[in-house]
Amino acid sequence: MTKLLEGKVAVVTGGTSGIGRGIVERFVAEGAKVVIADIRDEGAAIARDLGDAAAYTHTDVTDEGSVRDSISFAVKQFGRLDVMVNNAGAQGDPSSILEADADGFDRTVALLARSVLLGHKYSAAQFIEQGSKGSIVSTGSAASLQGGWSTVGYTAAKHAVVGLVRQAAAELGPHGIRSNAIAPGIIMTPIMSRTFGVEDARSEEFIEFLAARLGPSQPSLRVGYPADVAAVAAFLASDLSEYVSGAVIPVDGGATSVTLGTFASDVVAAAGEFSAG
């Protein structure tokens, strides 16, 4: 049977770790050639382990020239481009609204939203130049859909990803280019340890602890893993989703579909109190 992404060439930003690494591995398993574009050069060894199907290029998604070069690298390495995955990210500035740091906010938006615009700009130019269709997949977040999941810079930037994807569906659709976002919920990746300052050596232990602690309160009774996100990225990258553009798909086990907190039990408790008079 033909593999889902046979013959396709993809660039995955942030492909060295977590969700991006999961996407790289899934895409290669589905027959794609993949460029890992990351600021962490461990990506070179990851690409080597994947053999001829993968290559690494040092990329800083906050730098326009660097994003442009990652696309040129893919074309030089594998001859064309079919899929762009804008996934690189980090927590960014931790300030609250009352303590907002304007420069920190700008840096967070540059990392999480402007990078997605640049990924669209240079991948779309390549698709048009080669006269082909293309699929752009961007990693948003549950914080693209709701407040309260993170800090204001992260939440605002991830909401901006939704705007970018919808605008891209409108502007780039006539060129045969699709753009969609994935909105992951709680996914067990090193971003967790990086955000909370847990040293690399204890990252796995911390992730296991969080998974056990947070899983039972999720609608799905478990947390998510990079493979959960990678499966949806593979679908959006593939021709199976040929008529899907401008979509934002939550990959959160249902978390953004329910009211956070204890709404239902609050009502039950209040009704009990009322009846007890």
Chain positions contacting ligand NAD, by CB under 6 A: 13-14, 16-20, 38-40, 59-62, 87-90, 111, 139, 141, 184, 186-187, 189-191, 194
Active site residue 154: yes
Measured from the CB atom, the residue of 133 and 213 that comes closer to ligand NAD is 213
Residue 2 CB, nearest approach to ligand NAD (Å): 29
Measured from the CB atom, the residue of 128 and 210 that comes closer to ligand NAD is 210
Measured from the CB atom, the residue of 87 and 126 that comes closer to ligand NAD is 87
With CB atoms as reference, the residue minimizing the distance to ligand NAD is 18
The count of other CB atoms within 10 Å of the CB of residue 75 is 16
Residue 225 CB, nearest approach to ligand NAD (Å): 10
Catalytically annotated residue among 56, 122, 154, 225:
154
Measured from the CB atom, the residue of 8 and 21 that comes closer to ligand NAD is 21
Residue 271 CB, nearest approach to ligand NAD (Å): 35
Residue 199 CB, nearest approach to ligand NAD (Å): 14
Residues marked active site are found at 154
